[in-house]
Structure 1
Amino acid sequence: MSGMKLNLDIIEIKDICFGENNDIKDGTLVIDKKGLIEYLADPVFAKIDIQLAKPGDSARIIPVKDVIEPRIKEESETSFPGIIGDFGDCGEGTTKVLRGCSVVSTGTIVGFQEGIIDMSGPGAEYTRYSKLNNVVLVIDTIEGIKPAEHEAAVRIAGLKAAHYLAKSALGEEADYQETYQLGPVKEELPKVAIMYMIMAQGLLHDNYVYGVDAKKLHPTLLHPNEVFDGAIVNGCCVVAGDKYTTYDHQNNSLVQEFYKRHGKEIDFRGLIAVPTYPGLADKRRCCSSAVRMARLLGVDGVAIPEEGGGNPEADLMMICRGCEKNDIKTVMMLGPDGVEEPVADTAPEADAVINVGDCNEFVVLPPMERIIGDQNQVKYMSGGAEESIREDGSIRVSLSIIMGSVIGQGTLKMSSYVY
């Protein structure tokens, strides 16, 4: 696996606008709105609109399903292997990246646990997506569609839109290049891996690996480059504050940090993707297999970031106990601090835990000049309630409703303190 080399050609997008043709001009992504809507057409969509939301705008996007960074393989001109692209070149070669922009999907609500992105004000400080130039898909589906069909159609539309926009990067000169390769380690360093928990819980709580629903998978060894190159995509309606969007998989901050330290402080051995099933038998099967993989890799330690909360904490503790029993040190990253929100399972071996923030903290988000989507949906979302919407248009919600505010990667460097 050390031979895999991925070059990310970064094209910085500083602004976005609509125009007659898709193009990139002096850092501005020009979008053919009509062409994009036609490209996304689907019989289950009653209406599609495209709106733009830029950093600093008085705009609130609600409810948000997914966030995706436009990326495309330079050689094959494909994206998201198993969904839009082929499998062969994932994690290798050159991938064009439109850095500084994203595709955001919203519209009629898919599940009750979608989220909010504020582009300005106090809410913007709790999400990294407020710093992006966002191309927002506002999609309404036809009546009578089943929730799973709704989720699938909107999810695929977001990926297709990202691919459509990324094609503008083909032939463009990169502003700079990032290269990722697990080179040989010349000295004896701690061997480490990441236990990459993949939601596989059903009822719209699933992610996809190479286009396959994680409910159909066994633990899988992945090169970190595969994650950067779109092998894992979001299909999950867990609480917005700790949900990994596709953007979070593409830009996994923990993987990036391990790469920075590879060959200097650690010997990074890769990722073990562990489906987190709801049932006990499947949990035992997957967690035991994941521990065996770690032993086969010969690692000294693993990091275990959590996605979601509650049920997956049983998987966390199973992996922790299994690893520690085999002299593999564990560090887990999760949101609940054990006081405001209890951890659903515990283990005496879990003696190294990084807390990434208290999602139950309440904030008041001020009125916005523009609502992209439907603010009334806040009453149905985790972190909101009927009384959340105030007369002046402001909303009082918990951090759990803000996209990516307390994800297990620790992207925003938040934490909780017990006094």
Structure 2
Amino acid sequence: MNGLKLELEIVEIKDIAFDSTTAVRDHILYIDKEELINYLDDPRLQNMEVDLARPGESVRIIPVKDVIEPRIKDDGTGGSFPGFLGGYEGVGDGKTIVLRGCSVITTGKIVGFQEGIIDMSGPAARHCEFSELNNVVVKADPADGIEPSEHEAAIREAGLKAAHFLAKAGIGAGFDSVETYQLPEVSAELPRVAIMYMTIAQGLLHDNYVYGIDAKMLHPTLLHPNELLDGVLVNGTCVVAADKQTTYRHQNNALVRELYARHGVDLNFAGVIVVPVRPELKEKKRCCNGAVNLARTIRADGVIIPEEGGGNPEADLMMTCRACEKHGIKTVLIIALEDPLTDTTPEADAVIDVGNDDEVLTLPPVKKVLGYEEQVQLLSGAPENCIGDDGTIQVPLYVITGLHGSLIGSHVRGEVY
């Protein structure tokens, strides 16, 4: 797996603004708003709007559906997200232009109750890495008669298209740095470590997409880590906002980058195994056993298993842990222990807690809302009376998009007392 070499050409974006053309100049991303809206036109959507949200501004984005970093292949094809807006050749290899410091955020009328909030300032901002980005916010509501599943597909595709549109401005703009990802041969004495990447695949607005394919349709799949960094995994799930693994998190996977940094030092990074998390017991067993067989095939000595979501995925987590340990593969689990676990196993003796999210925050009124603030009362975990007469909002931390998840890179942590 050492043949692929991915070079991320980083274009630093320090501000965003509307202009008559879309271009990057002096680290500012200028956007032709009308052209972007026209590019995103879709009969499944209506009330399309594009707005900007910068760090420190009194802006609230709600309900957040996804966060995406603008990227595009610098190989003449102009592909961005294989299976959606790009082909498959060269994924995880060659050069990819990255607009670092900005993102596309999608919002609009509710798709599922498990959406979230991003505040660009105030007490919620310090818990959210996306509050530190220059965000291009795409709001679109479902056209009349559109079912929630069609709405989710339309707004997901609109976010990817917007990221692709913006990333094109980085072509020829000049990059500030290059991140290179390659897995050279290392000492055979080093332990072989893989990531078992649990990926929600449960239907009813709880899905993810690998190379454009609904993960429900997949058996566990082995990927080179470069493929993950190059946009093959797209978020389509409406799990609780704090647990949501946004597309941005997949693109900037902190766990992958950590193992890359240690490759050849104290471990041999053996790859990424995508494990669909299905609701049916039969399918859980299929995916668990398939994942363990792949780990054995690549001769993994150890695996790190970050959980996505909570509740029934803990059955997959523990089942996989138990089977790995049975075959001599050491496991480390990454999980948010905000609630009692629905399942456990004695073999789960190395667990990383990424933090609790039950603390209640009081969010002050903001000058500008992008989306629909009243829908906070529909979010998972938010009480119906959470909006006060003075305009303040009282909500638990788990309505903050990407608060922790299990990919490491959040602003909360768990501590043992």
Same structural fold, with TM-score higher than 0.5 when normalized by the shorter chain: yes
Q: Please identify, of 182-191 and 71-80, the stretch whose mean Cα deviation from structure 2 is larger.
A: 182-191
For structure 1, which runs of at least 5 residues remain unmatched after alignment?
none
Letter in 1 for 2:97: K
In the alignment, the residues of structure 2 paired with residue 368 and residue 47 of structure 1 have an alpha-carbon distance, to the nearest angstrom, of 22
| Contact 2:64–2:107, Cα closer than 8 Å, also in 1 | yes
- 1:371-402 Cα distance to aligned partner (Å, 9 max, x none): 11111000000131211111221111111100
Q: Please identify, of 387-396 and 348-357, the stretch whose mean Cα deviation from structure 2 is larger.
A: 387-396
Instruction: State the partner residue of 1:300.
Output: 301
Instruction: State the partner residue of 2:125.
Output: 124
Instruction: State the partner residue of 1:16.
Output: 16
- 1:47-100 Cα distance to aligned partner (Å, 9 max, x none): 101010000001110000000000000011111001110001110000000000
Letter in 2 for 1:159: L
- Residues 179-198 of structure 1 aligned to structure 2 (within 5 Å): 179-186=180-187, 188-198=189-199
Instruction: State the partner residue of 2:200.
Output: 199
| Contact 1:105–1:158, Cα closer than 8 Å, also in 2 | yes
| Contact 1:356–1:413, Cα closer than 8 Å, also in 2 | no
Instruction: State the partner residue of 1:220.
Output: 221
Q: Does 1:398 align with 2:399?
A: no
- 1:266-285 Cα distance to aligned partner (Å, 9 max, x none): 10000000000000000000
| Contact 2:386–2:394, Cα closer than 8 Å, also in 1 | yes
Instruction: State the partner residue of 1:57.
Output: 57
For structure 2, which runs of at least 5 residues remain unmatched after alignment?
none
In the alignment, the residues of structure 2 paired with residue 263 and residue 414 of structure 1 have an alpha-carbon distance, to the nearest angstrom, of 30
SS of 1:235's equivalent in the other structure is strand
- 1:347-380 Cα distance to aligned partner (Å, 9 max, x none): 0100010000112221111111111111100000
In the alignment, the residues of structure 2 paired with residue 326 and residue 143 of structure 1 have an alpha-carbon distance, to the nearest angstrom, of 53
- 1:208-229 Cα distance to aligned partner (Å, 9 max, x none): 0000000100000000000111
Instruction: State the partner residue of 2:352.
Output: 354
Q: Please identify, of 362-371 and 220-229, the stretch whose mean Cα deviation from structure 2 is larger.
A: 362-371
- Superposed displacement of residue 415, structure 1: 2.6
Superposition RMSD on alpha carbons, in Å?
Answer: 1.0
- Residues 10-409 of structure 1 aligned to structure 2 (within 5 Å): 10-75=10-75, 76-186=77-187, 188-337=189-338, 341-409=339-407
Letter in 2 for 1:406: H
SS of 2:395's equivalent in the other structure is strand
Q: Please identify, of 391-400 and 176-185, the stretch whose mean Cα deviation from structure 2 is larger.
A: 391-400
| Contact 2:403–2:411, Cα closer than 8 Å, also in 1 | no
Dislocated runs of 4+, deviation >4 Å:
none
- Superposed displacement of residue 418, structure 1: 5.9
In the alignment, the residues of structure 1 paired with residue 357 and residue 408 of structure 2 have an alpha-carbon distance, to the nearest angstrom, of 13
- Superposed displacement of residue 187, structure 1: 5.3
| Contact 2:200–2:208, Cα closer than 8 Å, also in 1 | yes
Q: Please identify, of 381-390 and 176-185, the stretch whose mean Cα deviation from structure 2 is larger.
A: 381-390
| Contact 1:194–1:303, Cα closer than 8 Å, also in 2 | yes
In the alignment, the residues of structure 1 paired with residue 198 and residue 363 of structure 2 have an alpha-carbon distance, to the nearest angstrom, of 31
SS of 2:317's equivalent in the other structure is helix
SS of 1:387's equivalent in the other structure is coil
SS of 2:406's equivalent in the other structure is coil
In the alignment, the residues of structure 2 paired with residue 356 and residue 413 of structure 1 have an alpha-carbon distance, to the nearest angstrom, of 9
Q: TM-score scaled by structure 1?
A: 0.98
Count of aligned positions: 416
| Contact 1:383–1:399, Cα closer than 8 Å, also in 2 | no
SS of 1:207's equivalent in the other structure is strand
In the alignment, the residues of structure 1 paired with residue 383 and residue 224 of structure 2 have an alpha-carbon distance, to the nearest angstrom, of 41
